[in-house]
Structure 1
Amino acid sequence: MESSTSTMDVFWEDPVDQDPANPMNWSVTRKWTIIAAVSFTTFLTPLASSMFAPGVPLVMEEFHSSSTTLATFVVSVYILGFAFGPLIVAPWSEYSGRVIVYNTCNLLFLIFNIASALSPNLAALIVFRFLDGVVGVTPTTIGSGTIADLMPPESRGRAMAFWSLGPLFGPIVGPVAGGFLVEATNWRWVFWVLSIAIQSGVVSTAFFFIVPETDPATILRRKAARLQKETGETAYKSRLDDGIPPKERFVQSLVRPTRMLLFSPIVAAMCVYIAILYGLLYILFTTFTEVFEGQYGFSSGASGLSFLGSGVGMLVGLVYSGTLSDKGIKRKLENKEPLKPEDRLPSYITLPGALSIPVGLFVYGWSTDKHLHWIVPEIGTAITGYGMIVILMAVQTYLVDAFTKHAASAIAACTVLRSLAGGFLPLCGLKLYDRLGLGWGNTLLGFIALGISPIPFMFQVFGERLRKN
Structure 2
Amino acid sequence: MATPGAFNDPSYHIDDLKEPKLELAYEEGHDADIPSNLGLYKPSNADLEKGTGSHPSTASGEDTVVAEVDTEAQHPTDEQDPNVVWWDGPDDPQNPMNWSMARKWGNIAALSGITFITPLASSMFAPGIPLVMSSFHETSNTLATFVVSVYLLGFAFGPLVIAPLSELYGRLRLYNICNVLFIVFTIACAESSNFNMLVGFRLLQGVVGSSPLTLGGGTIADLMPPEKRGGALAIWAMGPLVGPVAGPVVGGYLVQAKGWRWVFYLIAILSGFFSLITFIFMRETYAPVILGRKAARLRKETGNQDLRSKLDSGIPPKEFWRRSIIRPTKMLLFSPIVFFMSLFTSISYGILYLLFTTITFVFEEHYHFSSGTVGLTYIGTGVGMIIALGFLGTLSDRVIKKQQAKGAPLKPEHRLPMFLTVPGGVCMPIGLFMYGWSADKHAHWIVPIIGTAFVGVGLLTCMMTIQTYLVDAFTLHAASAMAANTVLRSIFGGLLPLAGLSMYDKLGLGWGNSLLGFIGIAIIPVPIIFKIYGERIRTSPRFQLKL
**Which of 271, 274, 294 does residue 199 from structure 1 map onto?**
271
Contact 1:6-1:235 at 8 Å conserved across structures: no
Contact 2:126-2:356 at 8 Å conserved across structures: no
Q: What does the per-residue CA deviation read over 1:198-228, in whole Å, with 9 as the maximum and x for residues that have no partner?
A: 1111x21222345444445434544544554
Aligned to 2:445: 374
- Note if 1:258 corresponds to 2:329: yes
Give, in whole Å, the separation in 2 of the partners of 1:323 and 1:276. 26
Q: What does the per-residue CA deviation read over 1:384-405, in whole Å, with 9 as the maximum and x for residues that have no partner?
A: 1122222223333444556677
Aligned to 1:309: 380
Contact 2:148-2:357 at 8 Å conserved across structures: no
- Note if 1:94 corresponds to 2:179: no
Contact 1:3-1:9 at 8 Å conserved across structures: no
Give, in whole Å, the separation in 2 of the partners of 1:467 and 1:356. 28
Q: TM-score scaled by structure 2?
A: 0.73
Map 1:133-282 onto structure 2 (within 5 A).
Answer: 133-147=206-220, 149=222, 162-196=235-269, 198-201=270-273, 203-225=274-296, 228-229=299-300, 232-282=303-353
Contact 1:83-1:419 at 8 Å conserved across structures: yes
1:178 Cα deviation after fit: 1.3
Aligned to 1:122: 195
**Which of 57, 60, 67 does residue 130 from structure 2 map onto?**
57
Give, in whole Å, the separation in 2 of the partners of 1:94 and 1:263. 26
1:135 Cα deviation after fit: 0.7
Give, in whole Å, the separation in 2 of the partners of 1:406 and 1:101. 23
- Note if 1:71 corresponds to 2:132: no
SS of 1:55's equivalent in the other structure is helix
SS of 1:242's equivalent in the other structure is coil
Give, in whole Å, the separation in 2 of the partners of 1:215 and 1:407. 19
SS of 1:3's equivalent in the other structure is helix
Residue type at the aligned position of 1:172:
V
Contact 1:342-1:463 at 8 Å conserved across structures: yes
Contact 1:154-1:330 at 8 Å conserved across structures: no
- Note if 1:418 corresponds to 2:459: no
The verdict on how the C-alpha distance between 1:191 and 1:284 changes in structure 2, with shifts beyond 3 A counting, is closer
- Note if 1:80 corresponds to 2:142: no
Aligned to 2:77: 3
Contact 2:142-2:501 at 8 Å conserved across structures: no
The verdict on how the C-alpha distance between 1:264 and 1:20 changes in structure 2, with shifts beyond 3 A counting, is farther
Contact 1:262-1:268 at 8 Å conserved across structures: yes
Give, in whole Å, the separation in 2 of the partners of 1:418 and 1:392. 10
Q: What does the per-residue CA deviation read over 1:404-433, in whole Å, with 9 as the maximum and x for residues that have no partner?
A: 776554443322212211111111112222
Q: What does the per-residue CA deviation read over 1:125-172, in whole Å, with 9 as the maximum and x for residues that have no partner?
A: 222111111111222333344455566777777665544433343232
- Note if 1:454 corresponds to 2:528: no
SS of 2:315's equivalent in the other structure is coil
Give, in whole Å, the separation in 2 of the partners of 1:345 and 1:13. 45
- How many matched pairs? 465
Q: What does the per-residue CA deviation read over 1:226-264, in whole Å, with 9 as the maximum and x for residues that have no partner?
A: 554565544444454433233443444343433343344
Residue type at the aligned position of 1:75:
V
The verdict on how the C-alpha distance between 1:89 and 1:247 changes in structure 2, with shifts beyond 3 A counting, is same
Greater radius of gyration (CA) = 2
Contact 1:286-1:426 at 8 Å conserved across structures: yes
Aligned to 1:389: 460
SS of 1:297's equivalent in the other structure is coil
Q: What does the per-residue CA deviation read over 1:418-468, in whole Å, with 9 as the maximum and x for residues that have no partner?
A: 221111111111222233322222222122222223333444555566566
The verdict on how the C-alpha distance between 1:67 and 1:30 changes in structure 2, with shifts beyond 3 A counting, is same
Aligned to 2:393: 322
Contact 1:90-1:408 at 8 Å conserved across structures: no
Give, in whole Å, the separation in 2 of the partners of 1:12 and 1:354. 49
**Please, which runs of 5 or more residues in structure 2 have no aligned partner?**
3-75
Once structures 1 and 2 are overlaid, which stretch shifts more, 119-128 or 303-312?
119-128
More helix by share: 1
Q: TM-score scaled by structure 1?
A: 0.84
The verdict on how the C-alpha distance between 1:122 and 1:439 changes in structure 2, with shifts beyond 3 A counting, is closer
1:325 Cα deviation after fit: 4.6
The verdict on how the C-alpha distance between 1:406 and 1:342 changes in structure 2, with shifts beyond 3 A counting, is same
Give, in whole Å, the separation in 1 of the partners of 2:397 and 2:87. 27
**Please, which runs of 5 or more residues in structure 1 have no aligned partner?**
none
The verdict on how the C-alpha distance between 1:408 and 1:362 changes in structure 2, with shifts beyond 3 A counting, is same
Once structures 1 and 2 are overlaid, which stretch shifts more, 37-46 or 334-343?
334-343
1:27 Cα deviation after fit: 7.3
Aligned to 1:292: 363
Give, in whole Å, the separation in 2 of the partners of 1:168 and 1:68. 27
Give, in whole Å, the separation in 1 of the partners of 2:110 and 2:207. 20
Once structures 1 and 2 are overlaid, which stretch shifts more, 73-82 or 242-251?
242-251
Give, in whole Å, the separation in 2 of the partners of 1:243 and 1:200. 37
